[in-house]
Amino acid sequence: MSEPLLSACGLAVRFGSITALDSVGAALWPGEVLAVVGESGSGKTTLLKVLSGRVRPEAGHVWYRAPDGERTDVHAMPLPMLRRLHRSDWGFVEQDPRQALRMDVSAGGNVGERLMAAGARHYGHIRDEAARWLAEVEIDVARIDDKPATFSGGMLQRLQIARTLVTQPRLVFMDEPTGGLDVSVQARLLDLIRTLVRRLGIAVVLVTHDLAVARLLAARIMVMQRGQVVEDGLTDQVLDDPRHPYTQLLVSSVLAA
Amino acid sequence: MNALSVRGLAKGFTLHLQGGTRLAVLAGVSLDVAAGECVALSGPSGAGKTTLLRALYGTYRADAGAILVRHGGGMVDLAVADARTTLEVRAHTLGYVTQFLRVVPRVPALAIVTEAAGAGNDAEARARDLLLRLAIPPRLHGLAPATFSGGEQQRLNLARGFAGAHPILLLDEPTAALDAANRATVVAMIREAKAAGRAIVGIFHDDSVRDAVADRVHEMLPLREAA
């Protein structure tokens, strides 16, 4: 497909005297995984929030192309329309799954709730879909009625992914999805995300500070520093032939195991 | 008809963390490779052989010159192509067998090769045949390669590289970790690929392998000596 699913230009955000985003542009095509890397404070999470409509930029535009080909300005669309997008066509995976999950609702309920919000009504179908998605993310279906409070960190993150993907979104925003997890749990989660994203053809904007995560999941990468994109390209180009001093610093700072 | 045509290629690295030191590795490289032909890159360590291979794949971004690749009926210049075009060329036209397998956690060997073999119904069967031909026994097909030996990983990497049927293949020391029997298999596979009209650029440290597969040798010298 020749048209981007999501595109942005001239994005600017300031928090007081701090420049969080400075004339940032980006484009994401259907089925593509784009990694945004940089250290804390580089503006990558702010960019994710602006792209997903959660934070309004002071300047610039974000355009989303709907399945019918219509292009909409994300920050000019009516709030109910944006909410509807977030409930079905879009997904957002938080670093801390507790922010997205309802901890007092069963695992199956957490997944089914998003389906119902997107319009599903038949209880039996909803429960079947929830069970199917728990299996997809390798959570024992016997746990469907358990509350997330009894789950490990890795299971919570997988449950959040099931809840996000159950509506078969076209576009998913991920904020450090493997942050805060044990390394062995990370590997399993990365493989799961990689497999599901490829199979379902989902486009992903992935914010991470972990270059190995970016390399494994993303075809393209953007490097941010102090609110600006200092380098972008194919992931192997940027990580194997970094040109900007900051990218060289990032790449050379990784400890090889 | 050339599958690959390189003109005046230059590549250097600026090391910003080391006082902005500038390392020039390639300058004025020109090279033509026809369909069905195998060209061996040759030269001492530091001559830029691997740098050239990585530049041809688009991993190292060219400073000057053109890398023309016959792709989908036209020529694409990878030296200036955008990211998505480069991905498209890599998916259909240009394959690269690196020296070392970058292991993906938990993905079984057979799935890795099947994915490379494309979307056809026979992709898995072809992947299995390739693994068997490269002496990777069935008991390993369902395992992730993290625990494979160096030679097994290299053979898996070769199976993945040859599975895609790319018209142009870049090979970086494809037989470095292989025993004589597997070397012979790889030589046979390269010859078959040539017979099928695929163009190959490779680095072969083993002279007997190089003599067995290469139609031409492209000599390279480190830039300081060449100048």
CB–CB contact A248 B61 (8 Å):
no
Residue-wise burial string across A125-164, b where 16 or more C-beta atoms lie within 10 A, e elsewhere? ebbebbbebbebbebeeebbeebbeebeebbbbbbbbbbb
Task: Using an 8 Å CB-CB cutoff, list chain A residues near B60.
Answer: 237, 240-241
Closest by CA to A8, choosing from A43, A60, A53, is A60
Q: With an 8 Å Cβ cutoff, is A249 touching chain B? A: yes
Task: Using an 8 Å CB-CB cutoff, list chain B residues near A219.
Answer: 83, 87
**Does ipTM surpass 0.95 in this model?**
no
Query: Which DSSP letter does residue B61 get?
Result: P
Q: With an 8 Å Cβ cutoff, is B58 touching chain A? A: yes
CB–CB contact A191 B106 (8 Å):
yes
Task: State what percent of residues in chain A have pLDDT above 90.
Answer: 81
Does the pLDDT at position A184 exceed 80? no
Residue in chain B lying closest to A249 (CA): B17
CA pseudo-torsion sign A161, A162, A164, A165: positive
- pLDDT band per the 50, 70, 90 thresholds, residue B216: very high
Q: How many CB pairs under 8 A join A and B?
A: 49
Residue in chain B lying closest to A253 (CA): B17
Does the pLDDT at position A130 exceed 50? yes
Instruction: List the end-to-end C-alpha distance of chain B, in Å, as a whole number.
Output: 32
Q: pLDDT tens, A165-183?
A: 999 999 999 999 988 788 7
Average pLDDT, chain A: 93
Residues 67-96 of B with CB under 8 A from A: 83-84, 86-87
Does the pLDDT at position B144 exceed 60? yes
> What's the whole-number mean pLDDT along residues A50-61?
96
Q: pLDDT tens, B74-129?
A: 999 999 999 999 999 999 999 999 888 876 778 899 999 998 998 778 999 999 99
CB–CB contact B86 A234 (8 Å):
yes
Residue A80 CB-density burial (10 A; 0-12 exposed, 13-18 middle, 19+ buried): exposed
Place of tokens 């690269």: B96
H runs (alpha helix) in A52-122: 79-87, 107-117
Q: Which residues contact A98 (CB under 8 A, 6 or more apart)?
A: A148, A156
What is the model's pLDDT at position B226?
47
B83 closest CB neighbour out of A194, A233, A244: A233
Task: Using an 8 Å CB-CB cutoff, list chain A residues near B106.
Answer: 187-188, 191
- pLDDT band per the 50, 70, 90 thresholds, residue B136: very high
Q: pLDDT tens, B54-73?
A: 999 999 999 999 999 999 88
Whether the Cβ atoms of residue A58 and residue A14 lie closer than 8 Å to each other: yes
* Site from B50, B61, B96 to mutate, A interface, most A CB atoms within 10 angstroms: B61
Task: Using an 8 Å CB-CB cutoff, list chain B residues near A235.
Answer: none
Distance of alpha carbon A73 from the chain centroid = 20
- pLDDT band per the 50, 70, 90 thresholds, residue B227: very low
